[in-house]
Amino acid sequence: MWRKKESSTLLLHGIIIYSHMDKKRLKRFSDRDLLHVVLNAIGKIANERDVDKLLIIMADMGRDLVGAESCTLWMLDKERQELWSRVSHSLKEIRIPASHGIAGHVALSGEPEIINAPYEDPRFDGEVDIIMGYRTRNLLAIPIQNSEGQIIGVFQAVNKGTGESMFTQEDMDHFLIASTYIGKQLEAVLLQEEIETTQREIIFTLAETAELRSQETGYHVKRVAEYSWLLATLAGMPETEAKILKFASPLHDIGKIAIPDAILLKPGKLTNEEIEIMRTHTQLGYDMLKHSDRRILKAASIVAMEHHEHWDGKGYPRKTAGEDIHIYGRITAVADVFDALASHRVYKKAWPMEKILTLFREERGKQFDPTLVDLFLNNLDKVLEIREQYKDQLETPPE
């Protein structure tokens, strides 16, 4: 149990600013009320899985604890020797040299700073104010460290918003509550991001290996990923889930790795028996991925199994129909077929766009989910932007 003296350092004299219409309404709280605010923020952080939303909650907590107009979480990019605004209430994402400004000084020195007359301080860099059309009256900045004591960023509050002209040591004590917690959470976030980035790179490498083995183009999986993400968001899928599908859909044909070369690379028409063997790539892909507990790989197992199912139940491998086909499979089916038809292959030329659109209109409600076809065709401009952005290099159509 905390002693009174210890708790006063963290909790006494808490000033919280409610950001309602006027954004200047001041209300004083007791120790218990301030503790409630802190625990409420921590509770939100504990339950938030989206990285960007998590960091915004932490920035909100810091802003409210000191009654600032805004807070910025600067991340230190050691490789480029830059600070960049990962989260901010007042800034777009910008980059500044790590040696510039008060934030840069704090990042390099490791010492917190309260600056109540920034334009009189030679270390202050007014470039950001000019860029953003903002006026910094005062600021408070604290270095953020990881568990090894290395500085990974700077947490900065700007402009005391209570009508008082200066930040105080009391504000610094309150800001320390937020910055200490942010340091621990941010380290976990960065580690999770590194794990997820590595996972995505492995997924794309595996997917491209499967596509190249079957003589598909390297950008096919990237385009399928982007088309899938676009369709998912247009269909109203939550952002986090749409991102999962984006990273899962490239593995739709991973099962082809297990198909014999004699069939996979056969230049001529496949026999009925060979077609049945080729179709097993859906089950093979599912079997490869189904045991993973990772959200992306679990989604990929569904995509692998169901991306050849048809809305009318005439697809494979299970002849699932309609909404019984998982939305992941229905979306990837549209993305995959469109890209396959629109791209040159060693064995065929790309179809003319009008012919592709005619096929999708004809297969609406047959092969494809009619709602997804409508969304796809009504947003063709966005689809074609993706196609152009990830255009295959040295693309030469067959004779």
Angle at 319 between CA 318 and CA 325, to 5 degrees: 85
> 223 Cβ partners below 8 Å, 6+ apart?
335, 339, 386, 387, 390
pLDDT score recorded for residue 94: 85
31 and 159 assigned to the same domain: yes
176 and 221 assigned to the same domain: no
272 and 160 assigned to the same domain: no
368 and 320 assigned to the same domain: yes
> Mind listing the pLDDT tens digit for each residue in 260-307?
888 888 878 899 999 999 999 999 999 988 888 888 889 999 999 999
- Is 256 in the active site? yes
Q: Of the residues 53, 222, 256, 290, which is catalytic? A: 256
Would you say the pTM of this structure is higher than 0.75?
A: no
For residue 37, is pLDDT > 80?
A: no
- The answer to whether residue 396 is domain-embedded is no
308 and 346 assigned to the same domain: yes
Alpha carbon 208 to chain centroid, angstroms: 22
Q: Taking a C-beta distance cutoff of 8 angstroms, is the pair 376, 383 a contact?
A: yes
For residue 394, is pLDDT > 60?
A: no
105 and 16 assigned to the same domain: yes
Total number of domains constituting the chain: 2
248 and 371 assigned to the same domain: yes
80 and 218 assigned to the same domain: no
pLDDT score recorded for residue 12: 29
Distance CA(103)–CA(140), nearest Å, equals 9
Helices 370-378 and 353-363, packing angle to 10 deg: 150
Distance CA(102)–CA(171), nearest Å, equals 17
- The answer to whether residue 34 is domain-embedded is yes
For residue 42, is pLDDT > 90?
A: no
- The answer to whether residue 101 is domain-embedded is yes
User: If you average pLDDT over each of 128-137, 154-163, 194-203, 323-332, which comes out highest?
Assistant: 323-332
Distance CA(379)–CA(113), nearest Å, equals 50
**Minimum mean pLDDT among 36-50, 224-238, 247-261, 286-300: which range?**
36-50
- The answer to whether residue 13 is domain-embedded is yes
- The answer to whether residue 199 is domain-embedded is no
> 254 Cβ partners below 8 Å, 6+ apart?
206, 207, 210, 285, 288, 289, 300, 304
The residue among 191 and 32 whose pLDDT is bigger is: 191
280 and 335 assigned to the same domain: yes
Final residue in a domain of this structure, among 153, 176, 191: 191
CATH number (domain holding residue 15): 3.30.450.40
170 and 276 assigned to the same domain: no
* Domain range enclosing 312: 214-389
> Mind listing the pLDDT tens digit for each residue in 70-106?
899 898 888 889 998 888 887 788 888 988 899 999 9
Distance CA(332)–CA(244), nearest Å, equals 12
DSSP 329-376: HHHHHHHHHHHHHHS-BTTBPPPPHHHHHHHHHHHBTTTB-HHHHHHH
Give the residue-averaged pLDDT of 315-320: 97
> Mind listing the pLDDT tens digit for each residue in 111-125?
999 999 999 999 998
Give the residue-averaged pLDDT of 191-210: 67
112 and 179 assigned to the same domain: yes
234 and 174 assigned to the same domain: no
Mean pLDDT of the chain: 81
- The answer to whether residue 198 is domain-embedded is no
Distance CA(383)–CA(320), nearest Å, equals 27
- The answer to whether residue 202 is domain-embedded is no
CATH number (domain holding residue 252): 1.10.3210.10
Give the residue-averaged pLDDT of 147-162: 85
Final residue in a domain of this structure, among 191, 226, 256: 191
- The answer to whether residue 32 is domain-embedded is yes
